[in-house]
Amino acid sequence: MYKESTNVVVKHLVNRLRDVRTTSNEFRLTIEEISRIIASEALSDFETVSQNINTWQGPLDVEMIEVQKLVLVPILRAGEPMLTGILKTLPYARSGFLAMKRDEETSQSKIFYENIPNLEGKTVLLLDPMVATGGSLIDGIEHLKSRNPKRIICLNVLGSPYGVEKVQKAFPDVDMYIAQIDERLDENNYIRPGLGDAGDRAFNTY
């Protein structure tokens, strides 16, 4: 299943990302904000655990998200601000890392580094802002699946119809929550209208 956000605030924020006047600092902060909104959509029915807390009027039984069952995995580099944003909401969530790079000529992605905690019985939020050909996400999902997670949910900011469909076809059991699906993939495998290279925009390297 994939779910494109219908939230007008999310659309507003995505359009700020497209604007070339948006500085790299604002770009990262905007990605953080979008990520927190789509994470809350994705986790709206996530398992909770009872806790007894002390409030200003004494002890109270409350339900809290079971963060022990969650692992956040950004695909670096562009996924980093997504992790930073979600950790502001769920600071005790475990995180793992996948560093991947798409070859500019062939658009094939390659994993350069990984550090993934035990995923048995966990739900993974796989974080990558861009789904262009879908190749990076598919490689990332394959890598995580070999660790037997209970479930993988992808959080993405922009996708092409081609890339989203390809990921869904490859992994029908993986849900995707995406802020916006744009018109198309261009001849250089960039999303149009898109926002350019998300990693370069975020880290000022273009």
Query: Annotated active-site positions, please?
Result: 102, 106, 197, 200
Give the residue among 178, 175, 177, 180 at the shortest CA–CA distance from 192.
180
Binders of ligand URA in range 124-153 (CB under 6 A): 130, 132
Question: Closer CB to ligand PRP, residue 65 or residue 189?
Answer: 189
Among ligand PRP, ligand URA, none, the one that 191 touches (CB under a kind-dependent 5 to 8 A) is ligand URA
3-class DSSP state for residue 28? helix
Site pattern 5..44 for ligand URA (x: CB under 6 A) = ----------------------------------------
Residue 193: cis peptide before it, omega within 30 degrees of 0 = yes
How does DSSP assign 135-192, residue by residue?
Answer: HHHHHHHHHHHTT-BSEEEEEEEEE-HHHHHHHHHH-TTSEEEEEEE-SEE-TTS-EE
Among ligand PRP, ligand URA, none, the one that 190 touches (CB under a kind-dependent 5 to 8 A) is ligand URA
Least distance from ligand URA to the Cβ atom of residue 194, Å? 4
